[in-house]
Amino acid sequence: MINIILSGCMGKMGRVVTRIVSEDEDCSIVAGVDINTAENEEYKIYASPSDIEEKGDVIIDFSHPDCLEGILNYAVDKKIPAVICTTGLSQAQKGMILEASKKVPVFFSANMSVGVNLIIELACRAAKLLEGSFDIEIIEKHHNQKIDAPSGTALAIADAISETLTNPSEYTYDRHSVRKKRSDAEIGIHAVRGGTIVGEHTVMFAGCDEIIEINHSARSKEIFAVGAVKAAKFIVSKDSGLYDMKQLVNSIC
Ligand SMILES: NC(=O)c1ccc[n+]([C@@H]2O[C@H](COP(=O)([O-])OP(=O)(O)OC[C@H]3O[C@@H](n4cnc5c(N)ncnc54)[C@H](O)[C@@H]3O)[C@@H](O)[C@H]2O)c1
């Protein structure tokens, strides 16, 4: 039995993880962390990781970037792995993840869906083949409550493509602020916000007289929760280090 501590347990994702884990006989949630410490029948909720009394084997985080430092400190202090799913992290915070991963296993992925990780792979293959003759634009769409933009997944797709290309690329987020033609090196990244859209990502390769699009559409948040629990099971017995969805997918295939 894997004992999970769930950070952001009262949020939208926290509630889905709680339901997924309740249906999983291999793991259970022993404590939650959230600024909203409302009564909860399933497990006790603490305002800060430092207050947690129960012993966990792994901590899963779907909360807010402000919580990251406390969660990583807790994981390092208790010598337990951490699965960080929160997005909108700064470069300095990504540096904190790297530092913590030298001491405990840390799993970090901007998108916990297996499907999204597959389109990243496909987009990289397309980018390699089409380099120089097609313009690359990434369009992401999310619900009207999402705070960060562009999505962590859009940036992860751009980063993976950028690492694949021979020539260095530059990201363009806002065509409104500068009036000039796009350069060949650009990867355009665009955010759309509205309604209850769970998460859509399109990688467009626009060439001369032809357009190729690779799409992923998430129909529910469950895919991310399932991925997070899979990640927790994957790293619980690993050595310290930084792990991601690509490694998890490769470990299955
Ligand atoms: N990696 C992925 O695949 C993936 C998928 C979905 C969501 N996310 C990310 O997970 C995060 C949470 O998403 P959500 O939709 O559940 O958001 P949400 O706003 O519904 O939930 C966030 C929860 O964190 C709590 N919280 C906020 N600040 C806090 C603080 N300082 N201390 C303690 N608790 C705090 C809130 O009370 C809330 O319950 C976001 O960053 C989102 O982008 C990642």
108 Cβ closer than 6 Å to some ligand 1 atom: no
High-pLDDT (> 70) share of the chain, %: 99
* CB of 18 sitting under 6 A from ligand 1: no
- Which is the closest atom of ligand 1 to the Cα of 87? 41
Listed residue (253, 203, 233, 196) closest to 83, CA to CA:
233
User: Which of ligand 1's atoms lies nearest the C-alpha of 109?
Assistant: 1
Residues 129-149: tens digit of each pLDDT: 999 999 999 999 999 999 889
Q: Is 12 in the pocket of ligand 1 (CB under 6 A)?
A: yes
Q: How confident is the model at residue 253 (pLDDT cuts 50, 70, 90)?
A: low
Least confident of 99-103, 188-192, 217-221, 231-235: 217-221
> What backbone phi and psi angles, to 5 degrees, belong to 64?
-150, 145
Please give the mean pLDDT across all residues of the chain: 94
Q: What is the best residue among 64, 84, 200 to mutate for testing ligand 1's pocket, by most ligand atoms within 8 Å of CB? A: 64
Distance CA 91, CA 110 (A): 13
Cβ(214)–Cβ(123) under 8 Å?
Answer: yes
Cβ–ligand 1 distance for 150 under 6 Å, the answer no
Query: Is residue 165 very low, low, confident or very high in pLDDT (cuts 50, 70, 90)?
Result: very high
Residues marked active site are found at 142, 146
Q: Average pLDDT in the 154-177 region? A: 93
Confidence of residue 232 (pLDDT cuts 50, 70, 90): very high
Identify the residue whose C-alpha is closest to ligand 1 atom 28.
Answer: 64
pLDDT-derived band at 88 (thresholds 50, 70, 90) equals confident
Task: Give pLDDT, residue 118.
Answer: 86
What φ, ψ does residue 102 adopt, rounded to 5°? Answer: -75, -20
Is the CB of 155 inside a 6 Å radius of any atom of ligand 1?
A: no
pTM of the model: 0.83
For a pocket test of ligand 1, which of 87, 97, 243 has the largest count of ligand atoms closer than 8 A to its C-beta?
Answer: 87
